[in-house]
């Protein structure tokens, strides 16, 4: 028998199993068979195909669920639509009371939910008990507060409608809370599909909704597989889709709902860097690795799976990490002494094992915990690779298991280069005792969440979401609530009117049209601060009032767009300038535009045929827009979120980088200014496809840019067939966001073509704002769409 002294020295523990009696009793009471929760009732369709739900720890069958059909989804969407009217019209206080009641019931059943989640998912009960379930309650409490305040804090916004939500298997109940809590707080109703591997806590949650008297149809849960999820996302009665899962499926959803008008948020995969500097507290950083990659068996989208260790301490750090690896306990998830539980399914075990084998085959040195694995169940020994290259499979592909890959760096610049050498951009963790170094890295790493001297910190009060192919949109905090609200001005826009697409032609103009007298004018593209002939050498006649030819403009092609994007990418210093400096340039731009008033108003009349008074109104409004966004350049700032104790969480508005902008034919000067100015005021660089019918306005505008200290490459203009140019922008991986104001067909094309790198898009679906109306043509909504929020967790206090 071991003495206490020996136990303290070896840290060996005996088994300490968590009781599962209540969960087993609950399963038996339901006959270990579950259906859907639709319109306030638990229903199991007759003859439904069933899916077996297994316990990852031992492979035994826990229950069976009905696989939802299109009819089941249709019933759920109809119930949600019927409930939306009354639910959305309730006062915020009334909705808050329901959310508060849900939070309280989650707390009162916390141990039951923790055990059920562990049995269903395989994660250690220590994690479900101490992390998952408390965060579930926290999200409902937090959003009960937003429900109370939404009418005051989000004036000019209203609920989207029926929300279709699809969640993954790695945090089943927590992901449910992330989706349902903000949707209900904003006044929406929900149809949610849980993962078929881990559906049980969703049923328990539905029972809680029933207990608190949540009105029928407000929350509907349809069980099923991938086909069921596709039916939810694609249903014509769904107004908003929220998905958490793999990048591959996110891309499919983006393409599936393109052109439907549905709002979309995607929280996808990651390959997050974990950066350790020489001056870091190495013991703390080692424990950080435990929390970064071996927490939840590494089945975490923001897992710190790429270790970047400064060269001078790499050998020492790896030695400490190997020693810590040997103490990890792998085994029964219901044992409160277990550190690493079971992988969710045999299929996932096979996938992880194949990637690990690939890492070894490519020359990586694999270090794994030496402890024997249980004979039954789905287990992978935690570990990490050394001797790998940045391009190695294990450094690029999301393993989604308890395996990290470690590389070294010498300088902060090299650390940033390695950290950003990924198609993902979900999270990052920086370890240094030098706060200047840490904050500098936090600003330069392309990630939606950055933890300093900590990792995997989550809270309802801080937004969570990624850059690049980690998706777009945020969950949690103020920025997350916007995902479930729609601007009233957009919802009120008139339905699109059919308009024949304008296709520029290089053919000579016939039909007796006469050139306006004067010097021939042929407009070039504007790329990198210089006028440039189109690559194809073609131009087209620009006609104005009365069908007269008033000049020519270039017909741009794919290479022109590529050149413009390259020029925009090189102008990164604009995003690094202070808001004050950008504001000065924009004020100067307005000053120089005013000097060209007479010529610009005359061109508006000549080009579009509008009256002199309307031309003056358009010019005056455009000038005010420039000054408005110059004023906002140093005032549209971030926030400090109230999250967990001893942390300041900075929500920083960051520019996307390179943005594409497609302008309409309507109000060619004003719409150009209204779209370009908020983007560059926030530090973006833009590639603009101006009005194809009235391109000469953009030609005069770039002459103003030339005299206004706007750095070359910040604004690039390529004329030609708008939708053809925009398709190239949508497909370009260097373009991080794209705004399109044109036809409904063009909007659908943009959303579908953007699926390649999952860029953020804003399209008008053919519904055109009144650009002269400040409520529609300008405002903080434009600025909000021109940035992505980075949440930086900074230790604060003792």
Q: Which DSSP symbol is given to 37?
A: E
Which H or E run contains 738? strand 737-740
Give residues with Cβ within 8 angstroms of 29, minimum separation 6: none
**Residue 512: its pLDDT value, please?**
45
- DSSP letters spanning 428-461: EEEE-S-HHHHHHHHHHS--SEEEES--S---TT
Average predicted confidence (pLDDT) for the chain? 94
Q: What is the pLDDT of residues 691-748, one digit of tens each?
A: 999 999 999 999 999 999 999 999 999 999 999 999 999 999 999 999 999 999 999 9
How far apart are the two ends of the chain, measured CA to CA in Å? Answer: 41
CA 381 to CA 325: how far, in whole Å? 10
Mean pLDDT on 126-135: 96
**Statement: residue 516 has pLDDT above 90:** no
CB-based contact 175:167 (threshold 8 Å): yes
pLDDT band per the 50, 70, 90 thresholds, residue 443:
very high
pLDDT band per the 50, 70, 90 thresholds, residue 495:
confident
CB-based contact 102:9 (threshold 8 Å): no
Q: What is the pLDDT of residues 144-197, one digit of tens each?
A: 999 999 999 999 999 999 999 999 999 999 999 999 999 999 999 999 999 999
At residue 609, φ and ψ (nearest 5 deg) are 85, 10
Mean pLDDT on 420-435: 96
- DSSP letters spanning 284-349: HHHHHHIIIIIGGGG--TT---EEEEEGGGHHHHHHHHHHHHTT--BS-TTBTT-SB---S-HHHH
**Residue 338: its pLDDT value, please?**
94
CA 728 to CA 798: how far, in whole Å? 52
Q: What percent of the chain has pLDDT over 90?
A: 90
**Statement: residue 506 has pLDDT above 70:** no
pLDDT band per the 50, 70, 90 thresholds, residue 646:
confident
Structure tokens at 666: 């309507």
Identify which has the larger pLDDT, 212 or 504.
212
Region for residue 296 given its phi and psi (left: phi exceeds 0; alpha: psi -120 to 50; beta: otherwise): left
Three state DSSP letters for 613-625: HHHHHHHHHHHHH
Q: Number of helices (H) and strands (E), helices first, in the chain? A: 30, 33
pLDDT band per the 50, 70, 90 thresholds, residue 644:
confident
**Statement: residue 2 has pLDDT above 90:** no
CA 425 to CA 301: how far, in whole Å? 11
Mean pLDDT on 562-584: 96
- DSSP letters spanning 576-641: HS-HHHHHHHHHHHHHHHHHTHHHHHHHHHHHH---HHHHHHHHHHHHHHHHHHHHHTTTS--EEE
**Statement: residue 540 has pLDDT above 60:** yes
Supply the residues annotated as catalytic. Answer: 267, 301
CB-based contact 63:50 (threshold 8 Å): no
pLDDT band per the 50, 70, 90 thresholds, residue 61:
very high
**Residue 17: its pLDDT value, please?**
81
Q: What is the pLDDT of residues 186-228, one digit of tens each?
A: 999 999 999 999 999 999 999 999 999 999 999 999 999 999 9
CB-based contact 669:622 (threshold 8 Å): yes
Q: How many CB atoms lie within 10 A of CB 41?
A: 14
**Residue 293: its pLDDT value, please?**
95
pTM of the model: 0.94
Please name the residue ranges forming H helices in 362-404.
393-396
């Amino acid at each position: 028998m071991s003495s206490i002294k020996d136990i303290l020295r070896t840290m060996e523990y005996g088994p300490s199993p968590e009781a599962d009696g209540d969960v087993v009793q609950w399963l038996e009471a339901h006959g270990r068979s579950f259906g859907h929760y639709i319109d306030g009732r638990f229903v199991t369709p007759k003859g439904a195909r069933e899916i077996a739900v297994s316990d990852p720890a031992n492979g035994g069958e826990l229950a069976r669920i009905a696989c939802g059909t299109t009819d089941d989804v249709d019933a759920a969407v109809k119930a949600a639509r019927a409930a939306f009217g009354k639910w959305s019209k309730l006062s915020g206080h009334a909705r808050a009371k329901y959310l508060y009641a849900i939070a309280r019931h989650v707390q009162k059943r916390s141990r039951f939910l923790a055990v059920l989640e562990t049995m269903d998912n395989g994660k250690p009960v220590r994690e479900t008990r101490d992390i998952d379930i408390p965060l579930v309650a926290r999200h409902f409490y937090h959003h009960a507060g937003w429900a109370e305040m939404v009418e005051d804090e989000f004036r000019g916004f209203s609920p989207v409608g029926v929300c279709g939500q699809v969640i993954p298997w790695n945090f089943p109940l927590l992901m449910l809370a992330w989706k349902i809590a903000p949707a209900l707080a904003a006044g929406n109703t929900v149809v949610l599909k849980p993962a078929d591997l881990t559906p049980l806590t969703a049923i328990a949650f539905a029972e809680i909704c029933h207990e608190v008297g949540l009105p029928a149809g407000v929350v509907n849960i349809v069980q099923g597989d991938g086909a069921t999820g596709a039916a939810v996302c694609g249903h014509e009665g769904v107004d908003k889709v929220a998905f958490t899962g793999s990048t591959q499926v996110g891309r499919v959803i983006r393409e599936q709902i393109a052109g439907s008008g549905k709002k979309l948020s995607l929280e996808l995969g990651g390959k997050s860097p974990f950066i350790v500097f020489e001056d870091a507290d190495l013991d703390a950083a080692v424990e950080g690795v435990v929390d970064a990659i071996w927490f939840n068996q590494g089945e975490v989208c923001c897992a710190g799976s790429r270790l970047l260790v400064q060269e001078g301490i790499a050998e020492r750090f790896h030695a400490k990490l190997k020693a810590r690896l040997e103490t990890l306990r792998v085994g029964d998830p219901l044992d409160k002494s277990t550190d690493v539980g079971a992988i969710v399914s045999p299929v996932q075990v096979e996938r992880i094992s194949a990637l690990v084998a690939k890492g070894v085959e490519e020359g990586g040195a694999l270090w794994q915990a030496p402890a024997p694995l249980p004979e039954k169940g789905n287990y992978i020994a935690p570990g990490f690779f050394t001797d790998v290259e940045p391009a190695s499979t294990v450094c690029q592909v999301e393993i989604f298991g308890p395996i990290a890959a470690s590389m070294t760096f010498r300088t902060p610049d090299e650390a940033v280069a390695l950290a950003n050498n990924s198609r993902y951009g979900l999270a990052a963790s920086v370890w240094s005792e030098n706060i200047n170094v840490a904050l500098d890295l936090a600003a330069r790493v392309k990630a939606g969440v950055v933890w300093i001297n900590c990792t995997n910190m989550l809270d309802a009060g801080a937004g969570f979401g990624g850059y690049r192919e980690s998706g777009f949109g945020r969950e949690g905090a103020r920025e997350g609530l916007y995902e479930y609200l729609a601007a009233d001005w957009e919802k009120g826009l008139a339905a699109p009117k059919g308009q024949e697409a304008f296709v520029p032609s290089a053919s000579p103009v016939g039909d007796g049209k006469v050139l306006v007298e004067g010097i021939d004018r042929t407009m070039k593209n504007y790329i990198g601060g210089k006028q440039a002939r189109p690559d194809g050498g073609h131009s087209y006649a620009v006609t104005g009032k009365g069908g007269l030819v008033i000049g020519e403009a270039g017909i741009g092609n794919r290479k022109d767009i590529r050149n413009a994007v390259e020029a925009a990418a090189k102008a990164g210093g604009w995003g690094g300038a202070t808001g004050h400096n950008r504001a000065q340039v924009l004020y100067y731009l307005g000053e120089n535009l005013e000097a060209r008033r007479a010529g610009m108003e005359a061109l508006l009349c000549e080009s579009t045929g509008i009256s002199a008074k309307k031309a003056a109104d358009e010019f005056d409004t455009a000038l005010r827009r420039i000054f408005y966004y110059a004023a906002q350049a140093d005032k549209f700032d971030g926030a400090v979120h109230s999250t967990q104790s001893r942390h300041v969480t900075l929500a920083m508005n960051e520019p996307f980088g390179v943005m594409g902008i497609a302008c309409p034919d309507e109000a060619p000067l004003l719409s150009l200014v209204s779209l370009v100015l908020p983007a560059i005021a926030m530090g973006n660089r833009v590639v603009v496809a101006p009005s194809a019918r009235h391109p000469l306005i953009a030609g005069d505008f770039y002459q103003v840019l030339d005299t206004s200290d706007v750095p070359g490459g910040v604004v690039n203009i390529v004329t030609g067939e708008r939708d053809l140019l925009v398709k190239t922008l949508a497909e370009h991986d260097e373009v991080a966001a794209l705004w399109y104001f044109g036809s409904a067909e063009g909007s659908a094309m943009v959303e579908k073509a953007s699926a390649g790198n999952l860029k953020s898009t804003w399209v008008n679906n053919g519904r055109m704002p009144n650009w002269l109306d400040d409520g529609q043509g300008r405002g903080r909504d434009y600025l909000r769409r021109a940035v992505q929020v980075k949440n930086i967790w900074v230790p604060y206090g003792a």
